[in-house]
Amino acid sequence: MMKLFCPAKINLTLHILGKRPDGFHDLETLMCPVSLFDELELEESPGGIELTVTGADLPGDATNLAYKAAAKVLEKCASTKGVRMRLTKKIPMGGGLAGGSSNAASVIRGVNDLLSCGLSEEDLHGIAASLGSDINFFLQNGPAICRGRGEMVSSVGLKDPLRAVLINPGFGVPTPWAFQSYASDPQSGEVSSLSLALTKGGAVVLRNDLEPAVFKKYFWLQEAKHWLSEQAEVRGSLMSGSGATVFGVLRNDLNTLQTNLLKDKIRTYFGSSVWTEIVEVLSGTEKCYG
C-alpha cells in the first residue's frame, strides 16, 4: 500500500493575459504548494478502480477527478491490474486551493509507481494536461510560474520562507463562473505593496485579476481581504485563485503564540464557525509527494 499527501496551493499572483480560441484564458500565475493536505491511500487490486471518499460529499465514481486520473494512467500503460483508492479530504472544496487537482496529480504519479507502469514524465504531464489546468503544477515540487491555461509549468523559488493564514467562509466560488464574470467586465486586480523576492532574481507583488469580478458578488471575500490587510501580523492579503479562500502573508518574526492569537481574532471577527489555518509554503524538498 502507498500513502500520499496531496497539498493545497495558493496563488501569489494571477494575471489574465487574454481569451484563447478554445474558450479558456491565457494565464500567468505564481502558485505555491502549502502545508495543508488531503490524504490518499493506494493499493493494488486484481482489476478495475475503486474509490472511497471521506471528509467531503463527493462521489467515488467515474465523475470524480481522482477516478478519471487513475483510469487515464491504466489506459495509457495498458495495465491489466487495478487500483483501490481511499481519499480523505481536508482541503476546503471550491476554495481556490485546488484540492481536486492535487488529488488527481497524486493519483497519476502514485498509480504509475504503484503498478510499475513505467510512464515517462512527458506521459504523466500529458495525462495531467488532458484532465485539468492545475494538475501539471502538482506534478512538480515547489512553487512555479504556470502559463497557458495553467499546464505550462516553470519551477521557481522564493528567497525567504513564507507562512500564510487562510480564511475560508464555508462556501465555494465556481471557477467557470468567476472567469465568465471577468470576461464580461475585465479589470486588473489591485497590486499589493508587498514585494516577495525570487531565488533566481526578480520579485513579485500580490495581484489577482479575478478579484474585482468575484468581489462584486461575494462581499464577504472583499471584507476578509480588507480586514486581513489591516492586521499588524499580516504583510499583505489576497484571494487565492477564483476563491473562496482569502489568505494573508504573515510577518516572518511571528511566534506560535502570536499566530494562534491571530486565529482567535479571526474567529472573533468572522464568527466561530469560520475555517482558518496557518500554513507554510513548501519548497519542494518536503516528503509529501509520495
Q: Annotated active-site positions, please?
A: 9, 134
Q: Report the 10 Å Cβ neighbour count for 195.
A: 11
Cell 478519471: give the residue: 68
Torsion-angle region of 148 (φ positive above 0: left; ψ -120 to 50: alpha; else: beta): left
CA 153, CA 139: separation in Å to the nearest integer?
9
Cell of 280: 507554510
- The closest of 54, 70, 68, 98 to 2, measured between CA atoms, is 70
Smallest Cα–Cα separation from 241: which of 134, 148, 140?
134
Measured CA to CA, the distance from residue 1 to residue 148 in angstroms comes to: 36
Buried b (16+ CB within 10 A) or exposed e, 51-85: bebeeeebebeeebbbbbbbbbbbebbebebbbbb
Instruction: Give the CA count within 13 Å in the CB-facing half-sphere of 177.
Output: 12
Instruction: Say if CB 164 and CB 281 are below 8 A apart.
Output: yes
Q: What is the C-alpha to C-alpha distance for residues 218 and 52, in angstroms, rounded to an integer? A: 33
201 closest CA partner among 161, 160, 162, 159: 159
> What value, to the nearest 5°, has the Cα angle with vertex 66 and ends 63 and 71?
80
